[in-house]
Amino acid sequence: MGGRSPTGKPVRVKVKIFGAPSLVLESRELTLELNENATTEDLLNSISVKDKNYLYIVREGIRLNPSSKLRDGDEILVVPPIAGG
Amino acid sequence: MYTKLESVQLKLKELRWVGKPVARKDGAGKVTGETKFFSDMALPNMLYAKVARSKYPHALIKKINTAKAEAVPGVVTILTHKDIPGFNGFGIVVPDQPVLCYDRVRYLGDAVAVVAAEYPEAAERAAQLVEVDYEPLPVVSDPIEAMKPDAAKVHEKGNIQRHAVVRVGDVERAFQGADVVVENTYRTGRQMHMFLEVEAGVGMLDDEGNIVLYVGGQSPYRDQMQVSRALGIRPERVRVISTPVGGAFGGKEENTVQIHLALLALKTKRPVKMAWTREESGVAGMKRHPMIVTMKTAASKDGRLLANQARIVADTGAYASLGPTVLDVAIENSCGPYRIPNIDIDAYLVYTNNGVAGAFRGFGAPQVNFAMESNLDIIAEKLRIDRLEIRKKNALREGNIGPFGYKILGSLGIYETLLKAQNSDIWRNREQYKSNPSAPWCKRGVAVTTAVKGFGFGALPDFGAASIQITPAGKFVVGVSCPEIGQGAVTAYSQIAAEALHCDVGDVYIASADSQLSPDTGTSSASMALVRGGNAILAAAPKMNELLLETAAKIVGERKENLTFKDSRVVSAKKSVTFAEIAQYLQRTGSETRVVAGFNVPRVDKPVEGSIEIPHWSYMYASAVALVEVNTLTGVTKVLKFFLSPDSGKIINPQSYTGQCEGAIVQGLGFALTEETQIENGIVKTNNFTTYIIPTICDIPEIEVEPVETYEKIGPFGAKGLGEIGIIPVGSAVANAIYDATGTRLNTLPATPERVYRALKGKSGVGGFGRKSQG
């Protein structure tokens, strides 16, 4: 799902992954190439993270749904739920 | 009580709504009692829920038997840990608290079973009849003892939940070269939130079997996540609605009733209501972290601060909740808003069986502020420097490097707030006020202190979104998920939206805190609801304006560039079209009428080594002046006057601003003088208003609020946060004023009459030290 489609035009997305806030705070950055109809769910299936259902996938300050389509050039944050003061 | 408005109005005269005292949209309903909170909800066919809680502060669970409880007439269901389909735990930062305990209880508030019944009385009786075989364990009640290797363990991994070390420079070298070094240990109390509305909500299923929760919380999306994780379902299957809330102050940031209500609604397929009693809130609810702070501070003979070393021990109780980040804020605020080149902070978050501590307005800052501001006054006295001047000398200025080695990026008005304090009535006339006590045995004192706190989550990733939809009537529905918890967010959002959308403030409706109607704007916490929500609205408004202009251009047949906005209309030189006409055109043509936009909160790439979220991008600041009178016969301290000058950036609504500051000051007076949850060997002794004393109208002093309006470039219309800064300097101001009055310095807050009296009598080990030098 997350791999490049042999026929479609790929989308390149930059992903910043944040770990559990109490443990790892520096983001891991990577660039993924996904197929043209890739969704956030495809993105999550392409990376190694825990508790995928409960992570926040954020583009331009907006949380995306699992079915949200990704766009070429997107910068995506993968963030665990955080609160604090 | 007033806020001086001249400067506000001068600078914002070109704005129509922002900076103006727009009446609170939720005001009339709340003051007349017409507003219905979730604890007021009653639905047909509704069940009542009650939690069966632990009977021991620390024990192993051997067996749970619900047979007798199930036999109570009216009981519909009783759930235990076996009935949790997903993850049996919650905690936003560290999910270490069981939804329903299975092998061990760690405090009296721990939930073992949850009952749903036809009547509240049946639920209550059944909860009492849930039989649990316990094997009591040693109670861990002293955080210092809990840190020792041989202490009984509250959690398998040990009692130190987090140990953080943050160092800058070389404190030992600085101590050696200093002219004065002061070291003392300070203790602060376990303050309760004591919101008017206790933890409450109603859970039910919708027609498709999805969970719907009406619940008093501080973030519908965080609640949604925690509920869905416990139920093992997708978050989209949980809808959370969290407005209005009858007070929160951080105490509803964590899960309280949410997961239990969802489990019961799913099981019974009926609406279920749960409202904790006041006593239950006192036992099971969150508290402010009590802290023990040993602080060593050095200065040169001209009053320049050279070094600060602190060892902070925070009692988080049985579970972590938001404690790890509270500890960070304590570290970050332990050096005040001052230039200090050498820092050494060693901080511990420690598990005990003393309830649970979590988020509370100030989030770790009031505790360490008491230590720093006390040490600073002692240094000033030793060096014979005026207490206000020493603060001015060390206050951070624009372009300075902050205490932890980073450049202060946001607007910075601490020095200006000190100038306001210097010019305040209390400070200018302090000798006159002090010379006129109300009785010969009463003594008066004055003190000035400062405060700082970042707003938002600092170096942690943070973001927020808002939606704007135009209705056929040409009005706007603005979706923001930060709940209205009494801070005035709904009104402020309306003002910002009306300004950006060129309409009347009455034409904006805020669809607040509904996970189905409002995009995720984050939490109402960290003094951030205004900045995050306001900026999200300002990100969405240009999209809506563009839609309006494009549509109007089609309607009037003119180029978009020739059109402009005027009073809910789009106009050209010759033509005009109302927002309502535009909306109806969009509807007729099947066009999109809603826009969504968000923004990522600016943050540094990497936190300070050893920390989670230090630094913040921008900070709030304040200076406070207190006038107190101490009755030396009884130890009773009365605060007569209080002055606060906050720097919270530009003011969006002066009325709400003053209200926030006054509320914060009064809550701070509770922290300073009376509020302390007494827990003895794990047993809560003060769980209602009879034994836990909060300030009443009789205790409220004359309050003056005079803001310093800096322009914060990352805030909406230059605004920063406000909610927490007002409470932070109150405890230290009162304690230092007591010293100024009596010559006896307290090292423990609250300064209860007993503590003050015994300190005045020179009793050792009771919370006081040091006698003021004569002359």
For residue range B469-510, what is the model confidence (pLDDT) as tens digits?
Answer: 999 999 999 999 999 999 999 999 999 999 999 999 999 999
Cα distance from A11 to chain B (closest Cα, Å)? 22
Beta-sheet pairing, B508-512 with B476-480: parallel
Nearest chain A residue to B362 by CA distance is A85
Q: pLDDT category, B177, cuts 50, 70, 90?
A: very high
- Give per-residue pLDDT as tens, B362-380: 999 999 999 999 999 999 9
Q: pLDDT category, B460, cuts 50, 70, 90?
A: confident
DSSP type of residue B704: E
In a domain, B243, yes or no: yes
In a domain, B179, yes or no: no
Name every residue whose Cβ is closer than 8 Å to that of residue B390 and which is 6 or more positions away in sequence.
B303, B376, B379, B380, B383
Output the pLDDT for position B711.
Answer: 96
Output the pLDDT for position B1.
Answer: 41
Output the pLDDT for position B207.
Answer: 96
Last residue of a domain, one of B252, B275, B298: B275
- pLDDT, chain B, mean: 95
* Substitution target from A26, A50, A82 for chain B, most B beta carbons within 10 A: A82
What's the Cα-to-Cα distance from A72 to each of A39, A44, B596, B731, rounded to whole Å? 12, 16, 20, 53
B149 burial via Cβ count (<10 Å: 0-12, 13-18, 19+): exposed
Q: pLDDT category, B459, cuts 50, 70, 90?
A: confident
B583/B730 same-domain check: no
Nearest chain A residue to B222 by CA distance is A81
Output the pLDDT for position A21.
Answer: 40
In a domain, B723, yes or no: yes
- Give per-residue pLDDT as tens, B55-102: 999 999 999 999 999 999 999 999 999 999 999 999 988 899 999 999
Question: Contacts of residue B465 in chain A, CB cutoff 8 Å?
Answer: 61-63
B81/B124 same-domain check: yes
Last residue of a domain, one of B600, B635, B664: B600
Question: Contacts of residue A22 in chain B, CB cutoff 8 Å?
Answer: 93-94, 162, 320, 324, 612
Output the pLDDT for position A53.
Answer: 80
Output the pLDDT for position A46.
Answer: 87
- pLDDT > 50? residue B273: yes
B106/B229 same-domain check: yes
Last residue of a domain, one of B556, B573, B600: B600
- Give per-residue pLDDT as tens, A27-66: 578 899 999 999 999 998 888 777 788 889 999 999 999 8
B485/B558 same-domain check: yes
Q: Which amino acid is at B299?
A: A
B372/B235 same-domain check: no
What's the Cα-to-Cα distance from B465 to each of B6, B7, B498, B738, rounded to whole Å? 33, 31, 17, 46
Output the pLDDT for position A80.
Answer: 83
DSSP type of residue B593: -
Output the pLDDT for position A18.
Answer: 81
Q: Roughly what angle, to the nearest 10 degrees, separates helices B365-383 and B730-742?
A: 30
B472/B521 same-domain check: yes
B586-591 long-range Cβ contacts below 8 angstroms, 24+ apart: B586/B470, B586/B547, B586/B551, B587/B472, B591/B551
- Give per-residue pLDDT as tens, B684-730: 999 999 999 999 999 999 999 999 999 999 999 999 999 999 999 99
Q: Do A82 and B606 touch (CB under 8 A)?
A: no
Closest to B427 measured CA to CA, from B623, B582, B232: B623
Q: How far apart are CA B497 and CA B508, in angstroms?
A: 7
Structural domain including B690 reads 287-458+607-771
CB-closest option in A51, A62, A85 to B525: A85
Number of domains in chain B: 3
The pair of three-digit structure tokens given for residue B293, joined into one six-digit string: 């702070």
In a domain, B469, yes or no: yes
State the ipTM, two decimals: 0.84
Output the pLDDT for position B654.
Answer: 97
Q: How far apart are CA B673 and CA B696, in angstroms?
A: 12
Output the pLDDT for position B766.
Answer: 47
In a domain, B159, yes or no: no
B665/B752 same-domain check: yes
Q: pLDDT category, B9, cuts 50, 70, 90?
A: very low
B669/B757 same-domain check: yes
B317, B357 in Cβ contact below 8 A? yes
* Substitution target from B90, B92, B332 for chain A, most A beta carbons within 10 A: B92
Output the pLDDT for position A24.
Answer: 44
B637/B758 same-domain check: yes
Name every residue whose Cβ is closer than 8 Å to that of residue B737 and which is 6 or more positions away in sequence.
B445, B446, B447, B626, B627, B628, B639
Q: Do B457 and A83 touch (CB under 8 A)?
A: yes
B385/B467 same-domain check: no
Size of interface A-B (CB pairs under 8 A): 121
B635/B670 same-domain check: yes
Lowest-pLDDT range, B190-194, B406-410, B618-622, B684-688?
Answer: B406-410
- pLDDT > 80? residue B655: yes
In a domain, B147, yes or no: no
Name every residue whose Cβ is closer than 8 Å to that of residue B204 and which is 6 or more positions away in sequence.
B43, B211, B212, B265, B270, B271, B272
The enclosing domain of B300 has a CATH number of: 3.30.365.10
B508/B521 same-domain check: yes
For chain B, say whether A23 makes contact (Cβ under 8 Å).
no
In a domain, B271, yes or no: yes
Closest to B372 measured CA to CA, from B414, B405, B343, B407: B343
The enclosing domain of B63 has a CATH number of: 3.90.1170.50
In a domain, B262, yes or no: yes
In chain A, the domains with their CATH numbers are 11-79 (3.10.20.30)
- Give per-residue pLDDT as tens, A9-19: 899 999 988 86
Nearest chain B residue to A18 by CA distance is B461
Q: Do A56 and B520 touch (CB under 8 A)?
A: yes
Question: Contacts of residue B250 in chain A, CB cutoff 8 Å?
Answer: 85
For chain B, say whether A73 makes contact (Cβ under 8 Å).
no
CB-closest option in B92, B525, B598 to A62: B598
Cis peptide bond N-terminal to B244, omega within 30: yes
Q: Do A54 and B322 touch (CB under 8 A)?
A: no
- Give per-residue pLDDT as tens, B569-594: 999 999 999 999 999 999 999 999 99
SS3 state of residue B241: strand
